[in-house]
Copies of this chain bind each other. A is one copy, B any other.
Amino acid sequence: MAKIKDPGFGYKTAASAKRMVNSDGSFNLRHINKKFSVSEIYSRLINMSWMRFIMLIFIWYGVLNLLFASMYYVIGVEHLTITKSTPYQDFLHAYFFSAQTLTTLGYGLISPQGNTTALVSSIEALIGLMGFALMTGLLYGRFSKPKAAIRFSDVLVLRPFKEKRAIMFRLMNKRVNVMIEPEITVTLAVNDIDDKGNLARKFFKLSLERDKIMYLPTTWTVVHEIDEKSPLKDYTDEQILALNAELLILIEYYEDDFAQNVYQMHSYSFDDLKGNSKFVPAYYFEESGQAILDHSKLSEIEKYN
């Protein structure tokens, strides 16, 4: 009964308490009175979706151009080498001049003639170059950030296994590359009554048939056998299926594409546990002897008997 100390969540809980870890691996926690930290801007710019990131660049470009266009307009478009026209057209000219300056295009059809305009435009060009330098870094940071790419089966299964029973889930590499030495830790968290009669969380590290393999080319079925040492040994299948419990999973491996160790968190609620089921093979051989891995079969289960 490998009951363990709190892995970092605390024993405190509430009858109404929600799951600790969302199924995407993030903590289910609301932060209040948090101080703003500059380094989180980078995190956000790196982690937002590509759609939002590109929109942000366009907005930044448009707003900065409007700002500088206004300055050129206020200084006076007569300080640009362009014939004065309607206010609307003048502002457009100032806007295009700004865009041609910010990007360091500098066609020259519209050029700065007055000293103030020339000074502002020299500063705008510097700001543009700083912005594009930043964008370069962010684009690289977005692409090169090592991301774990484990895909977990949607469900857990509970099934007979070697004269006893076992809880199993399956995982695989989303990508085609090589995952080296994946190692997994599975912690069971259940709410229970503690010594003082209060509701408290209990944590158990589940023993696994294997918790480390050398490579992960295909799928890996992670197996917790419910033997005499398992915290679940005294429960019937029905009781296990009805438990208000959570499996906290931490997997680490060496990601060859980024040449780094990466971690991935995951969580299964026992609502996802299916009784008397087994996973359908996702890996098989063609007649030619060629090995095939079918990504669509990861979560596919069938009746055990």
Residues of A within 8 A of B (CB): 5-10, 12-18, 20, 25-35, 37-40, 42-43, 46, 50, 54, 57-58, 61, 65, 81, 89, 92, 96, 99-101, 103-109, 111-113, 115, 118-119, 121-122, 125-126, 128-130, 132-141, 143-147, 149, 174-178, 180, 182, 185, 187, 210, 213-218, 220, 250, 254, 256-263, 265, 281, 283-297
Q: Which residues of B contact A96 (CB under 8 A)?
A: 112, 115, 118-119, 122
User: What 9 A-B pairs come out closest when comparing CB atoms?
Assistant: A137-B140, A16-B289, A108-B108, A99-B122, A109-B111, A33-B296, A7-B214, A103-B125, A133-B136
SS class of chain A's interface: helix, strand, loop or mixed? mixed
Q: Which residues of B contact A283 (CB under 8 A)?
A: 10, 12
Q: How long is the Cα–Cα vector from A136 to B131 in the complex, in angstroms?
A: 9
Q: How long is the Cα–Cα vector from A30 to B295 in the complex, in angstroms?
A: 10
Q: Which residues of B contact A65 (CB under 8 A)?
A: 122
Taking A126-B103, A295-B32 as contacts, is the C-beta distance between A40 and B176 under 8 angstroms? yes
Q: Which residues of B contact A288 (CB under 8 A)?
A: 16
Q: Which residues of B contact A31 (CB under 8 A)?
A: 176, 293, 295
Taking A129-B103, A260-B260 as contacts, is the C-beta distance between A178 and B141 under 8 angstroms? no
B17–A285 touching, CB < 8 Å: yes
Pick the contact of A185 from B81, B111, B214 — CB < 8 Å? B214
Pick the contact of A104 from B42, B105, B122 — CB < 8 Å? B105
Q: List 12 A-B contacts (CB under 8 A).
A: A7-B214, A33-B295, A33-B297, A39-B147, A99-B118, A100-B125, A103-B125, A104-B104, A105-B105, A105-B125, A137-B139, A254-B263
Q: How long is the Cα–Cα vector from A286 to B147 in the complex, in angstroms?
A: 33
A27–B104 touching, CB < 8 Å: no
B126–A37 touching, CB < 8 Å: no
**How far does the Cβ of A42 sit from chain B's closest Cβ, in whole Å?**
4
Q: Which residues of B contact A256 (CB under 8 A)?
A: 263
Q: How long is the Cα–Cα vector from A290 to B216 in the complex, in angstroms?
A: 37
Q: How long is the Cα–Cα vector from A48 to B291 in the complex, in angstroms?
A: 24
Q: How long is the Cα–Cα vector from A283 to B37 in the complex, in angstroms?
A: 20
Q: How long is the Cα–Cα vector from A33 to B296 in the complex, in angstroms?
A: 6
Q: Which residues of B contact A296 (CB under 8 A)?
A: 32-33
Q: Which residues of B contact A289 (CB under 8 A)?
A: 14-18
Pick the contact of A7 from B29, B61, B119, B215 — CB < 8 Å? B215
Q: Which residues of B contact A57 (CB under 8 A)?
A: 126, 130
Q: Which residues of B contact A281 (CB under 8 A)?
A: 12
**How far does the Cβ of A206 sit from chain B's closest Cβ, in whole Å?**
13
Taking A8-B213, A107-B112 as contacts, is the C-beta distance between A259 and B187 under 8 angstroms? no
